[in-house]
C-alpha cells in the first residue's frame, strides 16, 4: 500500500476520531479498558490494527469486541480476537499500545512503520467482525472501530449487541467452517442444541431440579438467555432477573464479579432458601453459582467449583469410554482456593498447572493437555479438546462396545456444548446443569465435595501499579523491595495463611488476596497485607483499615 493511500488514516482521525487526551493507555489482560470518554481514538486505531492483523494472517477474519466486561457502566474497552477465537497474540500487545498512544500527526507514519514491521501484504482482502456490549457508549465506539477498518480498505461486519463469547465463537467459525456457523443463530443451534440432545438422554433424578434462577447483571448475557429460554422445551426452567429494566445499572451490586468479590447476594434477585442461582457478568464471559440457606447465609460456587465439577464428570466419562490414553489437566491461577487445588490433585488425581492471571495464560497452558480444563476463580473458563481427543472419542462412539459408546457419545455432546474459544457464561451454565442433572445433585451436594478455606480480596490504590513486580505465576513479589518479606511474615502468623499481591491487568489498582483457617483471620490478613502495600508501594487516598 503506497504511503499516499495512508492519508485517509490521518483524515479519519483528525475529522472524526481525534486524540483529545494525553492519558497513556496500555493493552492489558483484556485489551484496552478505561473511562469510555478516553477511548474513541483508541478504538478507531484498533480498527486499523485489526486490518493489518487480518492481512498478516492471509486475510483471515479478526474480531473486535467493544466491552469492559465486569466493570461498571462508565467504563468501556476494546480487545482484538485472533483467527482461532483466541486472545490477540501477546507479541502484538506492545504494537497495539504504541499505535494507541501516538499523536494524530504521527499516526500515518506509525501505521506505515507497523505495516513494514509485521510485513503485512496490504493488497490482500481483510475481514473484521465487530461486536459490542449493552453500554450506552458502545454504539459510538463500534462506529469508530468500523471507520478504522474502512480507512485501511478492510471489510467490517457489525454483529450489534452480542456476548463476548459469541463474537469469539463467530470469528472461530468464520475461519474454520468445521467448528460451526458464524452467526448468533449458529451459536444457539450448536450450544443449545447439544444441551437439549444430552438432556433427553439424562433422566431427572435425585435432588436435582430443573428450575434455575439467573442474575443477568443487567447486561447482554441475560438478554441472550431470554431468547434461548423459549427454545429449551422444558429441559431447564430459567427464572431470569436483572435483565436491564427497572433502572438496573450494568454490574452495579449484581453480576458474577460482585458476587465473587463481595461474597454478597446481588440486588434484584428474588431468593428462595437453597434455590441455586447462576450469576453472569456484564458481557457474558464469567459465571458463578450460589445459594442462600434458611438463615440467608450465602454459599458461593465459584470458578474453582465449576472446574472441579466439570473435570470430575469428564474423567468419569473418559473412564467409561476406556479412553485411558487421553491425558486431562486442570489450569488455575493464584486466586484458586487452596482447598480446591488439594481436592483436584489428591481426590480427583488430576494434574494442576498454575499460571499468571489472565485468560490468555490459562488458555495457552490448557493446550498442553489432550483435554485442558481451565477456570479462574472469578468464573471465567472453559474446556479445550485437542484434535487427538476429538478423533479418539468419536472413534469409540462409533466402534466401541455398547457402554463405551454411551460414555463417548455423551462426551461428544459435551464437546459440542462447549465454547472452546474463551470462557462463556452461557455455555458453562449448560455444562454445569448437565453434570448436576447427570449426577442428581443439589447445589448443597455439589458444594460438599470439599470445604473452601475462607478468603478475602481487597484493592489498594497506589501512585503506580507497575511498581509491583511479580514472579512464580504472580504468587511472589520481586518489587518493591521488602514487600514479599512482609507478606510472608504476615501470612506466617495465621493457620493455613496464604497471601499475594499483584497489579491489576484491568484497573489502575493493586489487588490483594488472602486465605486463612477462619473468615476473621482471612479478613485480618488481607487488611494487614493491604497496609503493607500502601506503605511500601506508594499508596494514595485512604489507608486500608483493619477489621474490628
In tens, the pLDDT along 457-504 reads: 999 999 999 999 999 999 999 999 999 999 999 999 999 999 999 998
Q: Residue 359: pLDDT band by 50, 70, 90 thresholds?
A: confident
How many Å apart are CA 395 and CA 242, to the nearest integer? 44
How many Å apart are CA 100 and CA 91, to the nearest integer? 15
Q: Is the pLDDT of residue 2 over 70?
A: no
pLDDT on residue 219: 97
**Per-residue pLDDT tens for 493-538?**
999 999 999 998 767 799 999 999 999 999 999 999 999 999 999 9
> Cβ(66)–Cβ(145) under 8 Å?
yes
pLDDT on residue 247: 79
pLDDT above 70: percentage of residues in the chain: 99
Spatial CB neighbours of 190, under 8 Å, sequence gap ≥ 6 = 180, 181, 416
> Cβ(243)–Cβ(216) under 8 Å?
yes
For range 380-387, the mean pLDDT? 97
pLDDT on residue 547: 84
The chain-wide mean pLDDT, for the chain, equals 95
For range 265-275, the mean pLDDT? 96
Q: Where in the chain is the domain with CATH 3.30.310.50?
A: 455-536
Q: Is the pLDDT of residue 136 over 80?
A: yes
pLDDT on residue 246: 77
Closest CA to 163 of 505, 419, 448: 419
Cell numbers at 173, concatenated: 467459525
Binding site, annotated residues for substrate: 376-378, 502-506, 511
Spell out where 147-208 has E strands: 155-161
How many Å apart are CA 351 and CA 259, to the nearest integer? 29
Question: Which fold is adopted by the domain 189-301?
Answer: Alpha-D-Glucose-1,6-Bisphosphate; Chain A, domain 3 (3.40.120)
User: Known catalytic residues?
Assistant: 69
pLDDT on residue 30: 83
pLDDT on residue 478: 97
Closest CA to 60 of 170, 155, 174, 157: 174
Rounded to the nearest 10 degrees, the angle between the axes of helix 220-229 and helix 184-199 is 60
Place of cell 459510538: 140
**Global confidence as pTM:** 0.93
Binding site, annotated residues: 69, 281, 283, 285, 376-378, 502-506, 511
For range 101-129, the mean pLDDT? 97
Using CA of residue 484, residue 486, residue 492, residue 494, what is the dihedral sign?
A: negative
Rg (C-alpha) for the chain, rounded Å, is: 23
pLDDT on residue 485: 97
Closest CA to 312 of 363, 362, 349: 349
Chain centroid offset of residue 506 CA: 12
Q: Residue 423: pLDDT band by 50, 70, 90 thresholds?
A: very high
Domain 455-536, architecture per CATH: 2-Layer Sandwich (3.30)
For range 321-349, the mean pLDDT? 95
pLDDT above 90: percentage of residues in the chain: 93
In this structure, the strands spanning 352-355 and 381-385 are unpaired
Spatial CB neighbours of 498, under 8 Å, sequence gap ≥ 6 = 338, 453, 491, 514, 515, 516
Element of type H or E holding 452: none
Place of cell 482447598: 339
Look at domain 3-161 and name its CATH class.
alpha beta
In this structure, the number of other CB atoms found within 10 A of the CB of residue 371 comes to: 26
C-alpha dist (Å) from residue 465 to 319, 421, 530: 47, 30, 13
Place of cell 507497523: 114
pLDDT on residue 451: 94
Q: Where in the chain is the domain with CATH 3.40.120.10?
A: 3-161, 303-418
Binding site, annotated residues for Mg(2+): 69, 281, 283, 285
**Segments in 84-163 forming alpha helices (H):** 93-101, 104-117, 138-151
> Cβ(278)–Cβ(214) under 8 Å?
yes
pLDDT on residue 324: 87
Domain 303-418, architecture per CATH: 3-Layer(aba) Sandwich (3.40)
Q: Is the pLDDT of residue 367 over 70?
A: yes
277, β-bridge pairs: 213, 290
Amino acid at each position: 500500500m503506497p504511503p499516499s493511500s495512508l492519508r485517509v488514516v490521518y483524515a479519519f482521525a483528525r475529522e472524526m476520531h481525534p486524540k483529545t487526551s494525553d492519558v497513556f493507555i496500555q493493552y492489558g489482560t483484556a485489551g484496552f479498558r478505561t473511562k469510555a470518554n478516553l477511548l474513541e481514538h483508541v478504538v478507531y486505531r484498533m480498527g486499523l490494527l485489526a486490518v493489518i492483523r487480518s492481512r498478516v494472517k492471509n486475510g483471515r477474519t479478526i474480531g473486535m469486541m467493544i466491552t469492559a466486561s465486569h466493570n461498571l457502566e462508565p467504563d468501556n474497552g476494546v480487545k482484538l480476537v485472533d483467527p482461532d477465537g483466541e486472545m490477540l497474540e501477546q507479541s502484538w500487545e506492545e504494537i497495539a499500545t504504541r499505535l494507541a498512544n501516538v499523536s494524530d500527526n504521527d499516526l500515518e507514519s506509525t501505521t506505515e512503520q507497523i505495516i513494514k514491521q509485521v510485513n503485512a501484504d496490504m493488497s490482500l482482502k481483510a475481514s473484521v467482525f465487530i461486536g459490542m456490549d449493552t453500554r450506552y457508549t458502545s454504539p459510538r465506539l463500534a462506529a469508530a472501530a468500523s471507520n478504522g477498518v474502512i480507512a485501511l480498505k478492510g471489510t467490517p461486519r457489525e454483529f450489534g449487541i452480542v456476548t463476548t463469547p459469541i463474537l469469539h465463537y463467530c470469528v472461530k467459525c468464520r475461519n474454520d467452517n468445521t467448528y460451526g456457523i458464524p452467526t448468533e443463530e449458529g451459536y444457539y443451534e450448536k450450544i443449545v442444541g447439544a444441551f437439549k440432545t444430552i438432556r433427553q438422554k439424562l433422566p431427572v433424578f435425585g435432588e436435582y431440579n430443573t428450575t434455575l434462577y439467573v442474575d443477568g447483571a443487567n447486561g447482554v448475557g441475560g438478554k441472550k438467555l431470554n431468547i434461548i429460554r423459549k427454545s429449551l422445551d422444558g429441559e431447564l426452567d430459567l427464572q431470569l432477573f436483572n435483565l436491564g429494566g427497572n433502572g438496573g445499572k450494568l454490574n452495579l451490586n449484581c453480576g458474577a464479579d460482585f458476587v465473587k468479590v463481595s461474597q454478597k447476594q446481588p440486588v434484584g434477585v428474588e431468593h428462595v432458601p437453597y434455590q441455586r442461582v447462576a450469576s453472569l457478568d456484564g458481557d457474558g464471559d464469567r459465571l458463578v453459582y450460589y445459594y442462600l440457606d434458611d438463615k440467608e447465609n450465602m454459599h458461593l460456587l465459584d470458578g474453582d467449583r465449576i472446574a472441579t465439577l466439570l473435570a470430575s464428570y469428564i474423567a468419569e466419562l473418559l473412564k467409561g469410554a476406556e479412553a485411558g490414553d487421553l491425558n486431562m489437566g486442570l489450569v488455575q491461577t493464584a486466586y484458586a482456593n487452596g482447598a480446591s487445588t488439594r481436592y483436584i490433585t489428591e481426590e480427583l488425581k488430576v494434574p494442576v498447572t498454575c499460571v499468571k492471571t489472565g485468560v490468555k495464560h490459562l488458555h495457552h497452558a490448557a493446550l498442553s493437555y489432550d483435554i485442558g480444563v481451565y477456570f479462574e476463580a472469578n468464573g471465567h473458563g472453559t474446556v479445550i479438546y485437542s484434535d487427538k481427543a476429538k478423533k479418539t472419542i468419536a472413534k469409540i462412539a462409533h466402534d466401541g462396545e455398547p457402554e463405551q459408546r454411551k460414555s463417548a457419545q455423551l462426551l461428544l455432546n459435551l464437546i459440542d456444548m462447549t465454547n472452546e474459544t474463551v470462557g462463556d457464561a452461557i455455555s458453562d451454565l449448560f455444562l454445569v446443569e448437565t453434570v448436576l442433572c447427570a449426577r442428581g445433585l443439589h447445589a448443597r451436594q455439589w458444594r460438599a465435595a470439599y470445604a473452601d478455606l475462607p478468603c478475602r480480596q481487597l484493592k489498594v490504590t497506589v501512585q503506580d501499579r507497575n511498581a509491583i513486580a511479580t514472579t512464580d505465576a504472580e504468587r511472589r513479589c520481586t518489587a518493591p523491595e521488602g514487600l514479599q518479606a512482609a507478606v510472608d511474615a504476615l501470612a506466617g502468623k495465621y493457620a493455613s495463611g496464604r497471601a499475594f499481591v499483584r497489579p491489576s491487568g484491568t484497573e489502575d489498582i493493586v489487588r490483594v488476596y488472602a486465605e486463612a483457617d477462619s473468615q476473621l483471620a482471612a479478613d485480618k490478613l488481607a487488611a494487614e497485607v493491604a497496609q503493607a502495600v500502601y506503605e511500601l508501594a506508594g499508596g494514595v487516598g485512604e489507608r486500608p483499615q483493619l477489621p474490628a
